[in-house]
Structure 1
Amino acid sequence: MNKHYAIIGGGINGLSVARQILLDFPEAKVTVFEKENKVAMHQSSHNSGVVHAGLYYEPGGLKARLCRRGAELVQQYCLENDVAYDECGKVVVALDKEELPRLDAIYKKSLANKVPDVRMLTAGEIAEVEPNCIGVSALYSPRTAIVSYGAIAEKIAEEIQRKGGTIVFGRKVSNLTEQLNKITVHFADQDHYETTFDYVVTCAGLQSDRLAANSGDIATPKIVPFFGQYYVIDENFKSHVKGLIYPVPDPKYPFLGVHFTKRIDGQMTIGPNAFISFGRENYDGKTFNLSDIYDFLTYKGFWKFSSKNMSAALRELSTVMSQTNFVAEAAKYVPSLENVSCVPATRGIRAQAMESDGSLVDDFVIRKQGNITHIRNAPSPGATSSLAIAEYIVREVMTHK
């Protein structure tokens, strides 16, 4: 008898898992439940659109492995499905000599992760790649690319339906229960009937911890939402930057800092900052969700994180409160854009998994509980890795009896 699979969440990870099941088990019955009225309404369409090459990740970790594989699969998928893909390249720029040891460490990681064609640039060579960028040295990744993950998600959704899978919209799942190898999916709206499945994979993004805990999995890590605001710079100045210009990550700060990111529509963005969000799905920045706020304020991990990162919070707050400060941070790398005007663009919400000791969970967390598999943490490069995460879950994590 053919098995029936449920996927909870119609973002790029959920859709990729559904697609992979249908590729590996064409006779399987697959149903995706998405609470919104279309796919990819959350993190999948509120991100930078970067196809990460695998520069930063700890060699041997899931992030490193699945990012490299994922980047290849995304490129292949875009090519085969006529989705725009721009290999615009990326430089990670050291502004002073103090940053050089950290830049060198990233270079060594990128070599260990077999990032293609990566190389170091001298101050003079930076100008050959990014004519308006300054720095003492840079790491150059010419194969780093940009896409629209929303567009990829929509294409995958079409493919799922073509292959006989079902996507059910407007169905919010509250929890799962498993008995005698059968999983019942319970819906938040009691009017809907409950349905049983053989296997379930939860890909609930910003709600991943709640769905997992409500379904009997452990309570931590918990999701603490941080927003990141991007700005689009004045169109007349977008040619000042060719591709992506990133700072060297500073271990003193939990988030990367402001950088330049070319968008697949040709616009140039700067961003994002990172600050606590008053709602897990507060994309307009004008509303707040009291239960989400209560959730992080009553989590001891949040207070431990905050006490350790006060200087980082103040740095980020300065860019949240002042667009001038925001642009000034970016202009350290491209002085010709010092006074460029910009308008708010995408506002993303990062589903940051945090342990009770205040530490941020760095690697992907995928947990199996009976015949239920939970994606508990899939931050950047989660979208880049989505097709590889799907392979990993379907072929290595799930056991198909």
Structure 2
Amino acid sequence: MYDFAIIGGGIVGLSTGMALGKRYPNARILVLEKESKWAFHQTGNNSGVIHSGIYYKPGSYKAKFCRDGANSMVEFCREYGIAHEICGKVIVATSDAEIPRLENLYKRGLENGIKVQRISPEEVREIEPHVSCVAGIKVFSTGIANYKQVSEKYAELIQQQGGYLRLNTKVEKIRPSGKNQVLETNNGSFETRFVINCAGLHSDRVAKLGNVEPQAKIVPFRGEYYELTPEKRYLVKTLIYPVPNPDFPFLGVHFTRMIDGSVHAGPNAVLSLKREGYHKTDFDLRDFAEVMTYPGFWKLAAKHADEGIQEIIRSFSKAAFVKSLQQLIPEVQAQDLVPTHAGVRAQALMNDGKLVDDFLIIPGQNSIHVCNAPSPAATSSLEIGKAIVAQVPEPSHLAASVI
């Protein structure tokens, strides 16, 4: 019998397990992950950015958790010797038409309590000599880290707290057993008093296994990247972002210097035909059919048809991808870029076609379900874990630790 069982061993599930162990030192805590490694999907394939929180609606979970999470993540990396760097980033307008949106982004940064600064094109080039722009802002708290290492440290700390970790264990059914719940898996059954669903790309399905209707469906979007060849890495010193379209949930193709010194360019954002579809040829009939028969998807597609077409073109045309990147750095040429790994974003979409634009945490019967936690969830993971634990009803048989 376990006090808490967490479904999903990504960075959010592991952070939650760690936070539970701190709050309830005597609790029996179980983390189940269907893959053979921790942080295998969204966490293990993201860009490694410690986000500042500049993009998010003031007062939202994303704005608060990301701002606070940027600080707590840096402290965590320092404490445990995990590679990271606070390098800052520039967001640049490449045409006069983008300046009002850049100004709105600057004001939002101030509203969210983030250190931001307007900078001229000349000041941008002092930071990033190869960028072409008409205006920019500098975001000081943005950084980079190795989130796989962070996740592995979370798992290690859960074990040190006395928690139980099970890889290669996929939850296939959830059934009630008196006041408790039984998780039936491909690797045995586990009884628990409380379930926390952090299943990422499959979080909506796990919620339904637990008789919770998430009011949204996970739609997978694949983000494809190129990487600058080693001899062209000098073109990018930190992180370079365009001004995003505020009506579109993605940030546009950008340049990111990774913690290992490589420079990634991207991502685009295209519908994946499989929830774990990291390649263009990946296909799953169930996943595809669910999206194609979901009214919310077609409403979203109609609203963002132009942007969607451009993303698809970038997916199949390297020349189009390069052209987008040249708006930021004109010197970049097709031969300077080689394909690298893709990631898949688990984006919750409502039936009316609106994207869930904040973290979505849904309470159930003796359960909590995290049904939307894409970027900036890695940056925010320590804060999300604490917030989930704060929503767990105080177990009468466990004494809480004062943190």
Moved more, 333-342 or 204-213: 333-342
Asked whether the equivalents of residues 70 and 141 of structure 2 are also in contact (C-alpha less than 8 Å), the reply is: no
Q: In the aligned structure 2, how far is the partner of 1:254 from the partner of 1:118?
A: 22
Asked whether the equivalents of residues 214 and 362 of structure 2 are also in contact (C-alpha less than 8 Å), the reply is: no
SS of equivalent to 1:395? helix
Asked whether the equivalents of residues 45 and 148 of structure 1 are also in contact (C-alpha less than 8 Å), the reply is: no
SS of equivalent to 2:377? coil
Matching residue of 2:43: 44
Pairwise CA distance, 1:399:
4.0
Cα deviation 1:104-131 (Å, max 9, x = unaligned): 111111111111x311111221111111
Pairwise CA distance, 1:339:
4.2
RMSD: 1.5
Q: In the aligned structure 2, how far is the partner of 1:268 from the partner of 1:194?
A: 44
Measured at CA, do residues 245 and 165 of structure 1 come closer, stay the same or move farther in structure 2, by a change above 3 Å? same
**Residue 168 of structure 1 is aligned with which of 166, 169, 173?**
166
Where structure 1 has 5 or more consecutive residues not aligned to the other structure, the ranges are none
Alignment of 1:142-221 (within 5 A): 142-178=140-176, 180-187=178-185, 189=186, 192-221=187-216
Pairwise CA distance, 1:398:
4.3
Moved more, 96-105 or 172-181: 172-181
SS of equivalent to 2:344? strand
Matched to 1:271, the amino acid is G
Matched to 1:368, the amino acid is P
Measured at CA, do residues 400 and 119 of structure 1 come closer, stay the same or move farther in structure 2, by a change above 3 Å? farther
Matching residue of 1:258: 253
Matched to 1:341, the amino acid is D
Matching residue of 2:93: 94
Q: In the aligned structure 2, how far is the partner of 1:113 from the partner of 1:251?
A: 16
Matching residue of 1:67: 66
Asked whether the equivalents of residues 94 and 103 of structure 1 are also in contact (C-alpha less than 8 Å), the reply is: yes
TM-score (norm 1): 0.95
Pairwise CA distance, 1:377:
0.3
TM-score (norm 2): 0.95
Q: In the aligned structure 1, how far is the partner of 2:394 from the partner of 2:311?
A: 44
Q: Does 1:273 align with 2:271?
A: no
Q: Does 1:298 align with 2:293?
A: yes
Matched to 2:382, the amino acid is L
Matched to 1:400, the amino acid is P
Matching residue of 1:122: 120
Pairwise CA distance, 1:25:
1.3
SS of equivalent to 1:387? helix
Matched to 1:157, the amino acid is A
Matching residue of 1:392: 387
SS of equivalent to 1:383? helix
Cα deviation 1:323-349 (Å, max 9, x = unaligned): 121122111111121444212112000
**Residue 225 of structure 1 is aligned with which of 220, 226, 232?**
220
Matched to 1:51, the amino acid is I
Q: In the aligned structure 1, how far is the partner of 2:338 from the partner of 2:254?
A: 15
SS of equivalent to 2:152? helix
Q: Identity rate of aligned residues, in percent?
A: 41
Alignment of 1:10-21 (within 5 A): 10-21=9-20
- The 4+ residue runs of structure 1 with deviation greater than 6 A are none
Pairwise CA distance, 1:136:
1.2
Asked whether the equivalents of residues 93 and 99 of structure 2 are also in contact (C-alpha less than 8 Å), the reply is: yes
Q: In the aligned structure 2, how far is the partner of 1:235 from the partner of 1:174?
A: 45
Measured at CA, do residues 254 and 67 of structure 1 come closer, stay the same or move farther in structure 2, by a change above 3 Å? closer
Cα deviation 1:218-271 (Å, max 9, x = unaligned): 152100111001111111111111111111111353422211011111001100
Q: In the aligned structure 2, how far is the partner of 1:144 from the partner of 1:361?
A: 24
Where structure 2 has 5 or more consecutive residues not aligned to the other structure, the ranges are 397-403
Q: In the aligned structure 2, how far is the partner of 1:398 from the partner of 1:240?
A: 52
Q: In the aligned structure 2, how far is the partner of 1:95 from the partner of 1:177?
A: 55
Pairwise CA distance, 1:180:
4.2
Q: In the aligned structure 1, how far is the partner of 2:258 from the partner of 2:302?
A: 35
Matching residue of 2:112: 113
Pairwise CA distance, 1:314:
1.2
SS of equivalent to 1:385? helix
Asked whether the equivalents of residues 327 and 340 of structure 1 are also in contact (C-alpha less than 8 Å), the reply is: no
Pairwise CA distance, 1:207:
0.2
